[in-house]
Amino acid sequence: MTRRPRKNANSDIAPDEIFLDARNIPEFDVQQFEGRMEAPIERRTIFLVALVFTFVGVIFLGRAFVLQLVEGEVYAGKSAENRLEHQLLFPERGIILDRNGVELAWNTPSPEELGYSLRSYRTREGFGHLLGFLHYPARDRHGVYYRKDYEAGAGVEAYYNDRLKGKTGLRIIETDALGNVMSSNVIDPPRSGLDLRLAVDARVEEKFYEIVARVARDEDYLGGAGAIMDIATGEMLALVSYPEYDPNVMTSGDDAEAIAQWNTDKRTPFLNRAVSGLYTPGSIVKPMFAVGALNEGIVTPSTLIESKGFIAIPHPYIPDEETRFNDWKAHGWLDMRSAIAQSSNVYFYELAGGYKSQKGLGIAKLETYARLFGYGSSTGIDLYGEQSGILPNPEWKAKNFPDDPTWRIGDTYFTGIGQYGMQATLLQALREAAVIASKGVIVTPHLALDAATTSMRIPLPEEYFTVVGEGMRRGAVEGTASLLNIPGIKIAAKTGTAELGTAKTRVNSLVIGFFPYDKPRYAFAVVMDKGVRGNTTNASYVAQQLFWFMLAETPEYLQH
C-alpha cells in the first residue's frame, strides 16, 4: 500500500486548505465576489485568446495594405473631390444687331447666385420669329447642372448658337471640412461669344410687321408674312411673320399663362409663316411659267390668246357635255405682257395644258420650270424649319388620291395658275421675283450680314425675263397690282389670289415684285393668310402702305 507523504507540521497552510466557516458566509459581500475561490487561467485559454487577436490584427494589416498601396490613388482622388468644387464659368453671349448697329438682343446683369447673364430682346414687335429665344443653364435641387449651356429654341439665336454662345470656362474651388474656401483657381477661362450683325433694317422690320398685323386684325385674316431681299446678295432687309411670340417672355419663362395661350391660339403664333408656312400660291407663278413657254417656243411675246371668260373641254364619254375652266373675267385678246398684267387664267390654262390648236407645256415641263425657279426645294436661308413645298404631278396624285389616281387635263390647267396641289413658301415666291428682276440669277437668302453670297444663273435667255418683267410693271401701272402704282417709285408686281377649300369662301392673298423697276435692287413678297374672299384690303395694300413709309423714312432703299 502506498502512503501519501505527510506534510511538514511546521509548514504554512495554503489558502485553499482552509475550510470555510459556514457561520461567516452571511458576512461576505457576494456581489463583490467575496467568499469565492479564484482558480488560475489555463494556458490553453491564453493561447486561444492570443490566436484570435493575432488573426484580427492580420486582417487589419492586410486591409491597410490594400487601402494604402493597392487602392491608395483611387481613394486619394475621392478625398480630393470631397474638398474640390468644380464651378462652371458661363461666358457673355454675343450681341445681335441690325445692319445699322441697333441692338436687337443683348445681355443684362443677373443675381450673382445664377452665375450667368440674362438675355434681353428689343421690345418692339416684329422680331420674335427673327430672333428666337433661349433656355438658360439649369441646375437640379442638388445644385448639379443638367443643362450646362444656353440652349436656343428658334430664330437666329438657334441657327447661330455656336457663334453667339462662346465657350464655358471652369474654376476649381478648394474648401476645408467646414466649407471654408481655401483657394480658387480658374483652370479654363470662359470665352465670350461673337456678335452677330443682321442684314435686317429694324425700322423696315418694325413697320412691315405693324402693317401686316393691323391688316390681319382689322380684315379677319388668320395671319400674314412679308419679306424684302437684295436680289444681288441675298441679304434680307426684312422678314416678318404675324402673329408672333414675345422672345422676352419665352426666354424668362415666367409668364406661363401667356405661353399657354400662344400654344392654344388657332392663329399658331409659333409658326414662322415666312419660312415654314405653306400656301397655295395662285397667280404669282404665272410669270415663271410664261418664261418657260417662251423658252419652249410654244408662244412668242406677241402671240394672242382670247379669253371669253372660260374654256370648255368636251366630256370624253358623254356627248353634249363639257367641263368649263373659268377666268375671273372675259379679257378678250391678250398677248403675254397683257396676260400677266391682267392675270388671265384662260391664257395660262392654254400655256400650261394646251387648248385646241394652242400647244401647252404639259405637267412635266411645268414642274421642270418651277424647280428651275426654286420651287419644290428649300431656299437655304439661315433659319431652321424651312419647308420645301409641293409640286403636284401624276405620281403625287396617285400616292395622295388612291381612289382617283388618274391625272386629268384640268389638273394641269389648275397647276398652271398655281392652284390644285401646289404648295409654296413665301421665301420661294420671293426668290421667283428676284430671279425675274435679276434676269435669271437665283440667289440664296440670308439674314447674317457677313454671310457669303451664293448664287447661280439659270441657263435661259435674258430677254425672256425682260418680257415678263415688263408684264409685271404693266400690272402695277394698270393691272391687278395697280395699288402699287406709287408716285416716286417704279414697282413691278404680280398678284395672286388662291381659293381655299371646297366652299372657296376664304382665300390667300399674295403679291410679289421688285423695285426700282428700271434698275432692280430688291425683291419683295407678301402673303395674307385665309382672308375673306373679295377683300380689297389685301397683300397689295400691305405692300403699298410699306412703300409709302419707305419713301418717307428709308428712301435710300428705293433709289437706283
In degrees rounded to 5, what are phi and psi of residue 441? -100, 125
Cβ-based neighbours of 368, under 8 Å, separated by 6 or more: 292
265 sits in the region (left: phi over 0; alpha: psi -120 to 50; else beta) called: beta
Q: State how far the Cα of 434 lies from the Cα of 284, in Å rounded to an integer.
A: 13
pLDDT at 369: 98
pLDDT at 55: 72
In degrees rounded to 5, what are phi and psi of residue 558? -100, -5
pLDDT at 311 over 60: yes
pLDDT at 246 over 80: yes
Paired sense of beta strands 96-97 and 196-197, if any: parallel
Other beta carbons within 10 angstroms of residue 538's beta carbon come to 24
CA-based torsion, 11, 16, 22, 25: positive or negative: positive
Paired sense of beta strands 441-443 and 169-175, if any: unpaired
CA-based torsion, 455, 392, 416, 239: positive or negative: negative
pLDDT at 26: 53
pLDDT at 218 over 90: yes
What b/e readout covers 219-238, taking b as 16+ CB neighbours within 10 angstroms? bebbbbbbbbbbbbbbbbbb
The alpha-carbon radius of gyration of the chain (Å, integer) is: 43
pLDDT per position as a tens digit, 22-39: 555 555 555 555 555 556
Cβ atoms of residues 201 and 99 within 8 Å = yes
Cβ-based neighbours of 434, under 8 Å, separated by 6 or more: 229, 231, 441, 442, 443, 514, 523
Cβ atoms of residues 490 and 515 within 8 Å = yes
Residue for grid cell 429654341? 153
Tell me the average pLDDT across 397-418: 96
Largest CA distance in the chain: 165
Instruction: Tell me the angle at which helices 363-372 and 409-416 cross, rounded to the nearest 10 degrees.
Output: 20
pLDDT at 273: 97
Cβ-based neighbours of 103, under 8 Å, separated by 6 or more: 95, 96, 97, 122
The β-bridge partners of 463 are: none
The β-bridge partners of 279 are: 424
Grid coordinates representing 507 are: 382665300
Give me the amino acid identity at 336. Answer: M
Instruction: Tell me the angle at which helices 363-372 and 286-296 cross, rounded to the nearest 10 degrees.
Output: 110
pLDDT per position as a tens digit, 329-367: 999 999 999 999 999 999 999 999 999 999 999 999 999
Most confident of 41-55, 136-150, 163-177, 348-362: 348-362
Q: What is the 3 state secondary structure string of 131-183? A: HCCEECCEECCCCCEEECCCEECCHHHHHCHHHHHCECEEEEEEECCCCCEEE
Tell me the average pLDDT across 163-180: 84
Tell me the average pLDDT across 233-241: 98
Grid coordinates representing 459 are: 441657263
The β-bridge partners of 549 are: none
> What is the average pLDDT score of the chain?
89
Q: Which residue, 445, 424, 418, 417, is CA-closest to 523?
A: 445
Cβ atoms of residues 491 and 521 within 8 Å = no
pLDDT per position as a tens digit, 258-287: 999 999 999 999 999 999 999 999 999 999
* Distances 535 to 215, 450, 497 between C-alpha atoms, Å: 11, 41, 10
362 sits in the region (left: phi over 0; alpha: psi -120 to 50; else beta) called: left
* Distances 163 to 192, 193, 376 between C-alpha atoms, Å: 10, 6, 30
pLDDT at 2 over 50: no
What torsion, rounded to 10 degrees, do the Cα atoms 94, 100, 105, 110 define? 70
Element (H, E) at 513: strand 506-515
Lowest-pLDDT range of 109-123, 149-163, 389-403, 404-418:
109-123
pLDDT at 148: 83
Cβ atoms of residues 376 and 389 within 8 Å = yes
pLDDT per position as a tens digit, 37-88: 556 667 777 777 677 777 767 676 766 666 566 565 665 555 545 577 777 8
Evaluate the omega torsion of the peptide bond into residue 15 and state whether it is cis, within 30 degrees of 0.
no
Tell me the average pLDDT across 523-527: 98
DSSP 364-432: HHHHHHHHHTTTTS----SSS-----B---HHHHHHH-TTS----HHHHHHHHTT-TT-BB-HHHHHHH
pLDDT at 35: 55
pLDDT at 4 over 70: no
Q: State how far the Cα of 311 lies from the Cα of 315, in Å rounded to an integer.
A: 13
Q: State how far the Cα of 560 lies from the Cα of 547, in Å rounded to an integer.
A: 15
More confident residue, 69 or 527: 527
